[in-house]
Structure 1
Amino acid sequence: MSDEAYTRLQDAIISGELLPGERLRDYELAERLGTSKTPIRHALDRLADHGLVEMQRNRYTRVAPIDLEQVRNAVDLFGDVWIGSVRHVMPRLQDDDIAALSALTDEMSSSVTSRDVAAFGLGMRGIATEFARIEGNVTRATIIERLGPQIRRFSQHARDAFDWDGAAAFASEMREAVRQRDAAKTRAALVALFDDVLPAIIDRAEAEGLAVIDEERAGAVASSTAD
């Protein structure tokens, strides 16, 4: 039950259903999800470990604000972890690995066509996780799982700043590099994504005044989008 509670709460936070800064009360969440308070508490502990929830004992538990400096750090580490796997993974690629990675990059390309930020983020996590699986590196997989939600949540709240041309180029270059088993091209595609495309999105979000997104700002953004 705690895994299900974790997944549902994570999805609600990433999508903005639960806003940055919003107070979280275990009894309310238990009623909302139709479960007891114990799995809710376990889920909140995991979400706090992944940077999506803030907890102060005897004071509050709330959805963590989106801090762009923390997002930058998450992007940097995510990129380092993924790029570091390339030299280990590419020599090991089997035909079924290439088929799996090709399918994931095709899904990512579809997310670009449909302008689906959430699907693009899930695609990025899926490909990175597949690299870790092929390498057999549990540590990389764990780090990817911890950092991915922070990056995906930021992307959801900064959709207007998203670089779809850069995302399309990454999906195309990654697909071709994997099919060719080309480590240099794979690394170049990842470096472009993590050193250029994603940092530029964060910079544009900051220029638009989204340095820290809390409940008040998130509500204002949602209202302006609805208008």
Structure 2
Amino acid sequence: MSDEAYNRLQEAIISGELRPGERLRDYELAERLGTSKTPIRHALDRLADHGLVEMQRNRYTRVAPIDLDQVRNAVDLFGDIWIGSVRHVMPRIQDDDTAYLAELAGEMSTAVKDRDVVCFGVALRATATGFARIEGNASRAVVIDRLGPQIRRFSQHAKDAFDWDVVGAFVVSLREAILERDASKTRAVLVAFFDDALPAIIDRAEEQDLTPSGAPE
């Protein structure tokens, strides 16, 4: 029940159904989701750990604002983790690994063609996680999973700031580098994406005020 409550509340926050700054009362959420307060409290603890909820002991719990500095930090860490996997994976990558990663890159290409931020984010995380799994590094996969919700929420609100031409060029270059099994090229593509392309999207979102910082209590 805690997992179900967590997943449903997470999606409501990421989609904007629950707005930044909105108060979260466990008894109201329990009634809304048809469960007891205990699973709700467990779910809120996990959401707070992922930066989606703010909890003030004996005061209130509310949906956390979208903090662009935290988003930047999450993007930096995501990139570092992925690039770290590349260093270990590419020198010993096998044919089936290459085909698997190229297929995931193909899913990113489809999302780019459809201008679908949600599907692109899912495919991006799946590709990064794919590298971690091939490496055999479960801790990298866990951190990617923890970073996902915060980045997903930003992407949902800031989809109008995406430069799809730049994102599309990244996907093409990444797939080529994977198929060539070129570690240096793969790292360079990822560095450019995480150091330049994604920060530029965040900056545009900030300039265009696309990410709400809070709602009236």
Tell me the equivalent position of 2:33. 33
Which residue number corresponds to residue 112 of structure 2? 112
- What value does the CA root-mean-square deviation take over the aligned residues? 1.5
Whether contact under 8 Å (1:68, 1:212) holds in the other structure is no
Q: In structure 2, what is the Cα distance between the partners aligned to 1:182 and 1:36?
A: 52
Q: Residues 84-123 of structure 1: matches in 2 within 5 Å? A: 84-123=84-123
CA drift at 1:178: 1.3
Q: Which amino acid aligns with 1:169?
A: A
Q: Pick closer, same or farther for the CA change 1:4–1:153 going to 2, 3 Å.
A: same
In 1, Cα distance between equivalents of 2:149 and 2:157:
12
Q: Residue type matched to 2:142 in 1?
A: T
Is the Cα contact below 8 Å between 1:104 and 1:123 reproduced in 2? yes
| DSSP-derived class of the 1:195 partner | helix
Total equivalences in the alignment:
216
* Matched position secondary structure for 1:55: strand
Letter in 2 for 1:51: G
AA in 2 matched with 1:49: D
- 1:183 alignment partner in structure 2: 183
Query: Which residue pairs with 2:169 in the alignment?
Result: 169
**Percentage of pairs with the same residue:** 75
Q: SS of 1:54's equivalent?
A: strand
Q: Which amino acid in 1 is paired with 2:68?
A: L
Counterpart AA for 1:84? G
Change (3 A) 1:211 1:33: closer
Q: Following the alignment from structure 1 to structure 2, what is the Cα–Cα distance between the partners of residues 176 and 26?
A: 49
Q: What is the distance in 1 between the residues matched to 2:171 and 2:4?
A: 30
Structure 1 residues without counterparts, runs of 5 or longer: 217-227
**Aligned ranges 1:143-222 → 2 under 5 Å:** 143-210=143-210, 213-215=213-215
SS in 2 for 1:215: coil
Q: Tell me the distance in 2 between the aligned counterparts of 1:17 and 1:211.
A: 14
Which structure 2 residues correspond to residues 49-68 of structure 1 after superposition, within 5 A?
Answer: 49-68=49-68
Give the aligned residue type for 2:209. G
Query: What are the Cα deviations for residues 41-71 of structure 1, in whole angstroms up to 9, with x where unaligned?
Result: 1111111111111111111111110011111
Q: Distance in 2 between matches of 1:121 and 1:80?
A: 17
Question: Tell me, what secondary structure is at the counterpart of 2:58?
Answer: coil
Structure 1 residues 210 and 188: alpha-carbon distance in aligned structure 2, compared to 1, 3 A threshold: same
Contact 1:67 1:212 in 2 (8 A): no
1:19 touches 1:63 (CA, 8 Å); kept in 2? yes
1:92/1:24 Cα in 2 relative to 1: closer, same or farther (>3 Å)? farther
- Secondary structure at the aligned position of 1:35 is classed as coil
Cα 1:7–1:96, aligned 2, differ >3 Å: closer, same or farther? farther
Provide the residue aligned with 1:219 in structure 2.
Answer: none
Distance 2:4 2:212 in 1: 29
Change (3 A) 1:36 1:92: farther
Q: Is the 8 A contact 2:20 2:212 kept in 1?
A: no
The alignment's TM-score, normalised by the length of structure 1, stands at: 0.90
Segments of structure 2 that go 5 or more residues without pairing to the other structure are: none
Measured in 1, the distance between the counterparts of 2:162 and 2:77 equals: 20
